[in-house]
Amino acid sequence: MPDVIHTRDVVAALGSGRFDHLKNEPIVAYCTGGIRCEVLSSLMLTRGFREVDHPDGGIVRYGETSGDQGLWNGSLYVFDQRMSVQASKSAAVRGRCDDYVAPTSRVQNCADPSCKTQLVVCAACAEAAAHWCG
Protein backbone atom coordinates (compact mmCIF):
# COMPACT_ATOMS: atom_id res chain seq x y z
CA MET A 1 0.00 0.00 0.00
CA PRO A 2 1.27 3.47 -0.73
CA ASP A 3 2.56 5.60 2.13
CA VAL A 4 -0.37 8.04 2.32
CA ILE A 5 -2.14 10.19 4.90
CA HIS A 6 -5.38 11.20 3.17
CA THR A 7 -7.76 9.38 0.85
CA ARG A 8 -6.97 11.92 -1.88
CA ASP A 9 -3.33 10.81 -1.65
CA VAL A 10 -4.40 7.25 -2.54
CA VAL A 11 -6.17 8.56 -5.63
CA ALA A 12 -3.01 10.41 -6.71
CA ALA A 13 -0.83 7.35 -6.03
CA LEU A 14 -3.08 5.14 -8.16
CA GLY A 15 -3.00 7.70 -10.96
CA SER A 16 0.80 7.85 -10.90
CA GLY A 17 1.19 4.37 -12.41
CA ARG A 18 3.44 3.21 -9.55
CA PHE A 19 1.08 0.32 -8.83
CA ASP A 20 0.20 -0.75 -12.35
CA HIS A 21 2.32 -3.90 -11.89
CA LEU A 22 -0.35 -5.09 -9.40
CA LYS A 23 -3.29 -4.81 -11.80
CA ASN A 24 -3.48 -8.59 -12.33
CA GLU A 25 -2.98 -9.44 -8.65
CA PRO A 26 -5.84 -9.92 -6.15
CA ILE A 27 -6.15 -6.82 -3.94
CA VAL A 28 -7.87 -6.72 -0.55
CA ALA A 29 -8.61 -3.29 0.89
CA TYR A 30 -9.72 -2.74 4.46
CA CYS A 31 -11.20 0.34 6.07
CA THR A 32 -12.82 1.12 9.39
CA GLY A 33 -16.43 1.36 8.23
CA GLY A 34 -16.20 0.38 4.60
CA ILE A 35 -17.13 3.64 2.81
CA ARG A 36 -13.57 4.45 1.77
CA CYS A 37 -13.12 0.85 0.64
CA GLU A 38 -16.21 1.11 -1.57
CA VAL A 39 -14.76 4.21 -3.22
CA LEU A 40 -11.24 2.77 -3.46
CA SER A 41 -12.43 -0.55 -4.90
CA SER A 42 -14.55 1.19 -7.51
CA LEU A 43 -11.70 3.52 -8.45
CA MET A 44 -9.22 0.66 -8.75
CA LEU A 45 -11.57 -1.37 -10.94
CA THR A 46 -12.10 1.60 -13.29
CA ARG A 47 -8.31 2.01 -13.50
CA GLY A 48 -7.82 -1.56 -14.69
CA PHE A 49 -7.24 -3.57 -11.52
CA ARG A 50 -8.90 -6.94 -12.14
CA GLU A 51 -9.71 -8.30 -8.67
CA VAL A 52 -10.37 -5.89 -5.81
CA ASP A 53 -12.27 -6.96 -2.69
CA HIS A 54 -12.99 -5.65 0.80
CA PRO A 55 -14.96 -6.73 3.88
CA ASP A 56 -18.58 -5.60 3.58
CA GLY A 57 -19.05 -2.87 6.18
CA GLY A 58 -15.33 -2.59 6.86
CA ILE A 59 -13.32 -3.96 9.77
CA VAL A 60 -15.94 -2.78 12.29
CA ARG A 61 -18.66 -4.98 10.74
CA TYR A 62 -16.19 -7.83 10.31
CA GLY A 63 -15.44 -7.68 14.04
CA GLU A 64 -19.13 -7.52 14.93
CA THR A 65 -19.89 -10.64 12.91
CA SER A 66 -16.68 -12.60 13.60
CA GLY A 67 -15.92 -11.72 17.22
CA ASP A 68 -12.92 -13.64 18.53
CA GLN A 69 -13.32 -16.25 15.80
CA GLY A 70 -12.12 -13.87 13.07
CA LEU A 71 -8.68 -12.71 12.03
CA TRP A 72 -8.86 -9.32 13.80
CA ASN A 73 -7.26 -9.29 17.24
CA GLY A 74 -7.70 -6.40 19.68
CA SER A 75 -9.55 -3.11 19.45
CA LEU A 76 -9.94 -0.82 16.47
CA TYR A 77 -9.54 2.96 16.44
CA VAL A 78 -12.64 4.64 15.01
CA PHE A 79 -13.19 8.22 13.89
CA ASP A 80 -16.13 9.13 16.15
CA GLN A 81 -16.88 9.71 19.85
CA ARG A 82 -16.35 6.00 20.65
CA MET A 83 -12.63 6.34 19.83
CA SER A 84 -12.21 2.56 19.75
CA VAL A 85 -14.36 -0.56 19.41
CA GLN A 86 -13.73 -4.17 20.30
CA ALA A 87 -14.90 -7.26 18.43
CA SER A 88 -15.81 -8.91 21.74
CA LYS A 89 -15.55 -8.42 25.51
CA SER A 90 -12.55 -10.73 25.53
CA ALA A 91 -10.65 -8.97 22.73
CA ALA A 92 -6.89 -8.81 23.20
CA VAL A 93 -5.54 -5.56 24.66
CA ARG A 94 -2.76 -4.35 22.37
CA GLY A 95 -2.31 -0.71 23.49
CA ARG A 96 -0.15 0.70 26.26
CA CYS A 97 -0.91 3.78 28.37
CA ASP A 98 1.19 6.76 27.28
CA ASP A 99 2.20 7.47 30.91
CA TYR A 100 2.59 4.20 32.77
CA VAL A 101 2.81 1.55 30.05
CA ALA A 102 -0.25 -0.19 31.51
CA PRO A 103 -2.19 -2.30 28.98
CA THR A 104 -5.24 -0.45 27.63
CA SER A 105 -7.48 -0.02 24.62
CA ARG A 106 -8.77 3.37 25.84
CA VAL A 107 -8.23 6.44 23.66
CA GLN A 108 -9.13 10.01 24.64
CA ASN A 109 -8.54 13.57 23.52
CA CYS A 110 -5.96 15.74 25.23
CA ALA A 111 -7.58 17.80 28.01
CA ASP A 112 -6.32 21.05 26.43
CA PRO A 113 -9.17 22.21 24.14
CA SER A 114 -6.69 23.82 21.72
CA CYS A 115 -4.77 20.55 21.31
CA LYS A 116 -5.86 18.01 18.72
CA THR A 117 -3.72 15.14 20.05
CA GLN A 118 -5.36 11.85 20.96
CA LEU A 119 -3.78 9.77 23.70
CA VAL A 120 -3.77 6.14 24.72
CA VAL A 121 -4.59 6.36 28.44
CA CYS A 122 -5.43 3.65 30.98
CA ALA A 123 -8.49 4.08 33.21
CA ALA A 124 -6.35 4.79 36.30
CA CYS A 125 -4.52 7.66 34.60
CA ALA A 126 -7.74 9.04 33.18
CA GLU A 127 -9.37 9.07 36.65
CA ALA A 128 -6.31 10.54 38.39
CA ALA A 129 -6.42 13.89 36.55
CA ALA A 130 -7.39 15.68 33.40
CA HIS A 131 -4.96 14.28 30.87
CA TRP A 132 -2.64 16.63 28.99
CA CYS A 133 -0.20 15.65 26.30
CA GLY A 134 2.27 18.42 27.00
From the list 31, 97, 122, 125, the catalytic residue is 31
Does the CA dihedral 98-91-129-113 come out positive or negative? Answer: positive
Torsion of CA 116, 122, 126, 129, to 10 degrees: -100
- Bridge-partner residues for 96, per DSSP? 103
Question: Is 122 annotated as catalytic?
Answer: no
- Bridge-partner residues for 56, per DSSP? none
> Going by DSSP bridges, is the β-strand pair 118-120/107-109 parallel, antiparallel, or unpaired?
antiparallel
**Active-site amino acid positions:** 31
